[in-house]
Structure formats: structure tokens, C-alpha cells
Amino acid sequence: MLSIDIQKKLKSYMLDVQLQIDGEIAVLFGPSGAGKTTILNCIAGLNQPDAGQITLNGRQLYHGKAKHVPTPKRRIGYLFQDYALFPHMTVKKNIRYGGRDERLLSRLVNMIGIDHLLDNYPHQISGGEKQRVALIRALMTKPEALLLDEPFSSLDYDTKLACQHELQQLHESWNIPIILVTHDKEEAEKLGDQLLKIDNGKRVI
Amino acid sequence: MTPLILSLKTAGTATLIVFVTGVFLARIITRSRFPGKRLLESILMLPLVLPPTVVGFGLLYLFGNNGIIGKWLSEWFGVQIVFTWTGAVIAAIVVAFPLMYQSAAASFQRYNRNIENAALTMGASKWRVFWTISFPLAWPGLLAGLVLTFARALGEFGATLMIAGYIPNRTETIPLAIYFAAESGNNEAALFWVISILIIGLSAILWLNWWSERNILRFTSDK
């Protein structure tokens, strides 16, 4: 269970969002600049809200000025929009950076089908493959929640459908709260158990 | 051969100190926001635009026997900086520091910040992120800064002359040897040192360019 209630003053508006997710996929959608990525960054601990609280499975991650658990200790996986793979490491080293459970690694690699890429560098693989590598890399840390920032926005139509399908499959077996950010309404309706439209830092639906 | 050995020793020591402090300061300052950041960065870059004599004068003011730090050092530790090899190293450090700082600051801003953030979300400590992500990704730029720093420290003349003076066998680096050989009409010795410093400088830059061409592409092709 991930529960969020945060306020943060941004340049042109006030971010003020409440949501609760229990092993489901919550989709944040809305125009760019609406504060979606900032919400993810606050949950991951990369940005700090001004007030409020964030709790994950009973663990308090943030509570006003009193508590701010640093990013490495939050156990929250984060898939960045540009994937942020480590360009100087092979796919295998990327994946093993945050966790060395070899059984989990071979299970994920076989399930997603990237075993032939393990010795390649990120600049040698395609966009869809990068997305898959980044997803596996995030899951290798055995996160208690997963944040996905527009994970499919740079993919062509067929790859996007395949990747969306893989995410749904992974979610079924993993069953952790997932927050997915997108500006694509169709994608939001397809993947989301819970839909939140964000505009100017506030929930409008 | 004393000037060559002294020069290499002075420039080597200064480069080592400048590299460590420059890289850490650049990493800390480029990643933080605080009032007066621009001013601090400008002050750090100042020796690059000032005449070396101004730097030398400033160093004398600080480290001279009646200077703020110099007086304290000699009273408490009996240490003298003026007219010593240490003085030559300090001059080389101050003059070469901006080159290292500038290269390092640029290198740490050249790659996507989310690469470091991704490592943090995977549970890596700040030190681990620095050594496994930031440092290797910045390395091509850091190496360029290192070579420039060394070359600048090797060529330092004005500030060195003011704080360390010209003492044969103690502070006689190659640039000083050239100046005093030419002054006293010993053109043969001057030419010898001119050619040696040309060879060192040229080989350093040739090597750096060769190395960069081989390695930089691999590091930066995926931003």
C-alpha cells in the first residue's frame, strides 16, 4: 500500500496531490508541465515536498520536516522517461547494478526475452530494448513500488503494444503498487486500474 | 638535468593536489544551489584571467614571512614558504586550479542527471554513485583537465618567480632556467630547455588527442 498526500510550491502553481494505491496500476495523465514528474520525484525522494506525508507498506518515507528517508533506502523502482541506462556499462552490468539475485535475473531476462543483449552496450540496442532493460534493472532491486515516467512515449506503435502487454504480465506476477505517468489518454485507460488526471499540480478527475 | 626533475616534481605534485580538490569541489558546487554560488565560482576561476604577477603578489601577501598565513606558519611550525620548493608548488597549484575546475565542472554537467538518480533509486550510496557512475562518465573531460593542469603547472613562471625566487637546484624549474639562461647570454642552455619543454608539451597534447578520439565516442554516444 502506497499512500501519498503531498504539497509543494512550484514556480507557477501549487502541487497538491492525494492518492492511495494497493497493488494496482495508477495512471497519472495530463498535459506536460502539469507536475506529473515532480510527483514521481517526490515519491522517489529525488525532490522534497514542502509538507504532507508518504507511506509505503507502513513505512513512513516522508513526513513534513520531521522525516525524509533518502532515495537509496526507499526501495522504490523508478523507470525514467529517457531510461537513464548507464552508457559505460553492458546491459548485464546495468541490470546487476542494484541486485545480484541470479535466479531473479534469469527469470526476468527469459520472460522479457533480452538474453541475447546482455553483452551489448546501451547505445547498441533499440528504444524498445532499452525500455525492457530499464524495467528489468528496476525490478532487480526487488522494489516495493514502481514508478514509470512515460515509459512508452518514444516507442513505435507495435513495440509500444508489446511493452504495455509485458508490463501488465509483470504486474500480475509482481503485484506491487505501480504509478505510471503518461500524456496518452488511450494508454491511461488501457493500463490504469485507477486514473488521475493532473492539471496545474492538482487532481481534476 | 636538475631543472627538468624539479619541474616534473613541482608540476606533478601540484597536478595531484589540484586534481583531487578540483574534482571534488566541482562535483559538490555544480550539484548544489546556494547564495553566492556564481561569486564563488568566479573567484575560483580568477587566477586564469589575472596576470601571474598579481597571483604572485597575492601569494606573497598570504605566505610571505609577514603574511597572514606565512607569519603563523613560521611562528608555530618554523616553516617558511617563500624561496622554497613548496612555494613553487603553491604557485603552480593556484595558477593551474581554474583549468582543472572548469574541465571538471563541465564534465559533470555533460551527462544526463537522471543517470545518477537511477543509481540512487537502485539503492547505491552517494559514494558508490560517484565512483561507479559520475567519475567514469566524467573521466574523458577530467583527463583533459588533468593534462592541461599539468602543462600549465609545468609552464608556470611569473608567480613562481615572485614567491619561490630563482634558487639553483631548489626552485629552478625549466621556465626559470630559460629566463635566467637567456638573461645571462647563455643561449645554448636556454635553447636546450626550450626544446625540452616543447617536446613535453607537444607529446602530452598529442597523446591526449589520440586517447580522446579512441575513447570519448564510446562514453557519450548514448546520452
Task: Compute the nearest-CA separation of B28 from chain A (Å).
Answer: 17
* A121: closest CA of chain B, how far (Å): 9
In this predicted model, which residue has the larger pLDDT, B89 or B65? B89
Which ipTM value was assigned to this complex? 0.92
Cα A195 to Cα A188: distance, rounded to the nearest angstrom = 7
- Please list every residue in chain A whose beta carbon sits closer than 8 Å to the beta carbon of residue B118: 78, 80, 84-86, 134, 137
The whole-number average pLDDT for the span B122-143 is: 94
Residues A200, B139: Cα–Cα separation, whole Å: 40
Q: How confident is the model at residue B222 (pLDDT cuts 50, 70, 90)?
A: very low
The pLDDT assigned to A32 comes to 82
Residue B95 has pLDDT above 80, yes or no: yes
Backbone angles phi, psi at A42, to 5 degrees: -65, -40
Q: What is the CATH T-level fold of the domain A2-203, as seen in this structure? A: Rossmann fold (3.40.50)
Chain A residues inside the 8 Å CB shell of B123: 72-73, 75, 98, 141
The model carries a pTM of: 0.87
Q: DSSP string spanning B198-222?
A: HHHHHHHHHHHHHHHHHHHHHHHS-
B219 pLDDT band, cuts 50/70/90, is low
Residues of B in contact with A144 (CB under 8 A): none
Amino acid at A22: D
In three-state secondary structure terms, A11 is: coil
* Residues A177-202 as b or e (16 or more Cβ within 10 Å = b): bbbbbbeeeebbeebbeeebbbbbbb
Closest CA–CA distance from residue A85 to any residue of chain B (Å): 6
Q: What is the pLDDT along chain A (205 residues), one digit of tens a residue?
A: 999 999 999 888 999 999 999 989 999 988 888 889 999 999 999 999 999 999 999 999 999 888 899 999 999 999 999 999 999 999 999 999 998 899 999 988 888 889 999 999 999 999 999 999 999 999 999 999 999 999 988 888 888 888 899 889 888 888 899 999 998 888 889 999 999 998 888 887 7
Q: Where are the domains of chain A?
A: 2-203
CB pair distance less than 8 Å for A71 and B117: yes
* Structural domains for chain B: 2-220 (1.10.3720.10)
Tell me which of A10-24, B21-35, B55-69, B202-216 is least confident: B202-216
The pLDDT-based confidence of B218 (bands split at 50, 70, 90) is: low
CB contact under 8 A, A82 and B112: yes
Q: How far is B119 from chain A (nearest CA, A)?
A: 8
Burial zone of B46 (CB within 10 Å; 0-12 exposed, 13-18 middle, 19+ buried): middle
Give residue-wise pLDDT tens across range B145-175: 999 999 999 999 999 999 999 988 888 999 9
Q: What pLDDT, on the 0 to 100 scale, is given for residue B18?
A: 97
Q: Does B135 touch chain A (CB under 8 A)?
A: no
Question: Does the beta-carbon distance from B115 to A122 stay under 8 Å?
Answer: no
Q: What is the DSSP letter of A187?
A: H
d(CA A63, CA A52): 6
User: Is B117 in the A-facing interface, judged by CB distances under 8 Å?
Assistant: yes
Q: Which residue has the cell 492539471?
A: A199
Please report the pLDDT score of residue B223 as a whole number.
40
- From chain B, pick out residues whose CB is under 8 angstroms from the CB of A97: 119, 122, 124, 132
User: What is the rounded average pLDDT of the residues B4-32?
Assistant: 94
Q: Do A84 and B117 touch (CB under 8 A)?
A: yes
List the single residue in A72, A123, A134 with the smallest CB-CB distance to B120: A72
With a cut of 70, say whether residue B221 has pLDDT above it.
no
Residue A97 to residue B119, Cβ atoms within 8 A: yes
> pLDDT band at B217, cuts 50/70/90?
low
CA nearest B30: which of B95, B98, B96, B107?
B107
A55 contacts A2 by C-beta, under 8 angstroms: yes
Give the distance from residue B118's alpha carbon to the nearest chain A alpha carbon, in angstroms: 7
Q: What percent of chain B has pLDDT over 90?
A: 74
Give B221's contacts in chain A (Cβ within 8 Å).
87, 123
